[in-house]
Amino acid sequence: MTANVDLNEKMARLQAQADGKDVPPKPAPQPKSDEPTVAWLQAETKKWAKLKGWEDDRGVGDLMMLMVTELAEAYEEYRDWHEPGEVYVKDGKPEGIPVELADVVIRILVFCGKYDIDLQAVILQKMAFNNTREHRHGGKRV
Listed in sequence order, the DSSP H helices in 80-137 are: 97-114, 119-130
Select 38 or 99, whichever has its Cβ closest to Mg ion. 99
**Which of 50, 63, 103, 119 is in the footprint of Mg ion by CB under 5 A?**
103
Q: Quick check: 45 and 112 in contact, CB under 8 A?
A: no
Q: Which residues between 5 and 64 bind Mg ion (CB under 5 A)? A: none
- What one-character DSSP code corresponds to residue 95? E
- What one-character DSSP code corresponds to residue 28? P
Query: Min. distance of Cβ 71 from Mg ion in angstroms?
Result: 9
**Which of 73, 98, 101, 120 is in the footprint of Mg ion by CB under 5 A?**
73
Q: Quick check: 111 and 62 in contact, CB under 8 A?
A: no
Query: Min. distance of Cβ 97 from Mg ion in angstroms?
Result: 11
Which residues contact Mg ion by CB under 5 A? 70, 73, 100, 103
